Amino acid sequence: MRAATWIGSYFFGLVSEPPKRGEKALNAYTRMAVMNLPFSTPLPAQTRIKARTAPKIRSAEQDDQDKIYVALVDSAAEVFAEMGYEAAAVADIARRAQLTTGAIYNRFSGKAGLMNEVIITKLGADAQILGGEVVQALASSSSISKPALEELIVRLNSDSGGNSRGLRLAARDAARHEPEVAAVVGPLQDATLAAMANFVRNAQGEGLIRSDIDAEVVVWFWSVNPMGAGLVGAAFPEISLKAFSSFYATAMEILRTQPA
């Protein structure tokens, strides 16, 4: 499971800062989930981490009446998900949309600008919805949270639909190469993490989530680990996503158990 955390942290860390001074608590939390330790074992004391600021998210420039715009964004989403950002060419997207490359350059700054519109229209809203569902599952009873989380992990790692894993990875890869894309992906991801952390703080105040782990560490773990687990599963198809279920169920119970 540490591999899943490291891999997921790498991709999230391309555009967002991990919690400062949170590594010790994160490692202890992971260790408790994989070892036979009492769930009430206190986690290491840590300095409170500064809350992540929720930045303003850029809105889409979409005009549903502009059929060329819609065709280009839809086609770009498909091509980026299938080929990745680096391998996809503007000509591939134009060909998929049955248009010319001129149609792209008339509406967007280029491949990076088109990727930004894909991120905003295809990934933005769903990313925040998924983040909210994850933290709500954490604060729910076991009978609700376990099946809810299993469904969320499948959705997060699905290769179908407009919010596919391939498209999300392509967006992060683009952010690594293109400052223009990083300027869109970073605020979107930070806003989602900030909203999740605020929910966790409120749940801690109500006694629903243990008090000795910082909310920023909680949401980082529960954001990066499922993504990393999905990538591990993609690299090793013999590993089913359900193989991670018992670990996540244990990790959830630890969060719902107050320290001794």
Residue 105 has pLDDT above 80, yes or no: yes
Predicted local confidence at residue 211, as pLDDT: 92
- Residue 244: its pLDDT value, please? 78
**Buried-state track 80-99, b at ≥16 Cβ within 10 A, e below 16:** bbbeebeebebebbbebbeb
Mean pLDDT over 137-150 rounds to 72
Q: How confident is the model at residue 140 (pLDDT cuts 50, 70, 90)?
A: confident
Q: Which carries the bigger pLDDT value, residue 142 or residue 96? A: 96
The alpha carbon torsion through 144, 19, 42, 208 (nearest 10 deg) reads -30
Q: Which long-range contacts (CB under 8 A, 24 or more apart) does 237-243 make?
A: 241/153, 241/154, 241/157, 242/150
pLDDT in tens, 152-171: 777 766 666 555 778 888 99
| Backbone conformation region of residue 130, classed left if phi is above 0, alpha if psi is from -120 to 50, else beta | alpha
Question: Would you give the distance in Å from CA 168 to the centre of its chain?
Answer: 8
**Closest C-alpha to 215, from 24, 35, 25, 7:** 25
Q: What share of the chain has pLDDT > 70, as a percent?
A: 89
| Alpha carbon distance 145, 138 (integer Å) | 6
Query: Which band of pLDDT confidence, cut at 50, 70 and 90, is reported for residue 144?
Result: low
Query: What DSSP letter does each residue of 41-52 carry, written as one string?
Result: PPPPP-PPPPPP
**Chain CA centroid to CA 126, Å:** 10
pLDDT for 11: 87
In angstroms, rounded to a whole number, what is the distance separating the alpha carbons of residues 173 and 141? 36
Question: What tokens were used for 61?
Answer: 């420039």
pTM of this structure: 0.85
Domains of the chain: 2-51+122-255 (1.10.357)
136, with CB counted inside 10 A (0-12, 13-18, 19+), is middle
pLDDT the model gives residue 63: 60
User: Helices (H) and strands (E) in the chain — how many of each?
Assistant: 12, 0
32 closest CA partner among 260, 254, 186: 254
**Two tokens, residue 241:** 């996503």
pLDDT at 163: 54
How many CB atoms are closer than 10 A to CB 38? 10
The band of 225, judged by pLDDT with boundaries at 50, 70 and 90, is confident
* Res. 196: pLDDT tops 70: yes
Q: Which two tokens stand for residue 8?
A: 């997921």
